[in-house]
Amino acid sequence: MDGGGDSSSPASYIRLVQHLIEKCICYNMNKEECMETLEKHANIKPVITSTVWKELEKENSEFFATYKKCPGEESVQNKSSSSQEAAGSKSSGGDDD
């Protein structure tokens, strides 16, 4: 039995892409942002990400319907702004000395 090739099988690659897409979803990325991110940071072709994303949408249609309705981009931007403001207030607090 030749089990050594399993780690590079197409199924394991698809599972990896699925896992990375799920990570992108945790960061409230849309499909295009996810495709761009995975291409840049994981060297995964956008067509692969798009195909796996579409399959996930088919399997989890209710989740994606809700996910698309959520203003995810705004919440990510707000988190980013808040952390920048917090960083700014920390640095201004040190100037009082």
The answer to pTM > 0.75 is no
Q: Provide the 3-class DSSP secondary structure of residue 83.
A: helix
- Closest by CA position to 10, among listed 52, 65, 68: 52
Instruction: Tell which residue, 38, 42, 12, 40, has the closest CA to residue 24.
Output: 38
Per-residue pLDDT of the chain (97 residues; tens, 9 = 90+): 444 445 579 999 999 999 999 999 999 999 999 999 999 999 999 999 999 999 999 998 888 888 877 665 444 444 444 444 444 444 445 454 4
- DSSP letters, 12-75, are HHHHHHHHHHHHHHHTT--HHHHHHHHHHHH---HHHHHHHHHHHHHHTHHHHHHHHHS-HHHH
Distance CA 55, CA 49 (A): 10
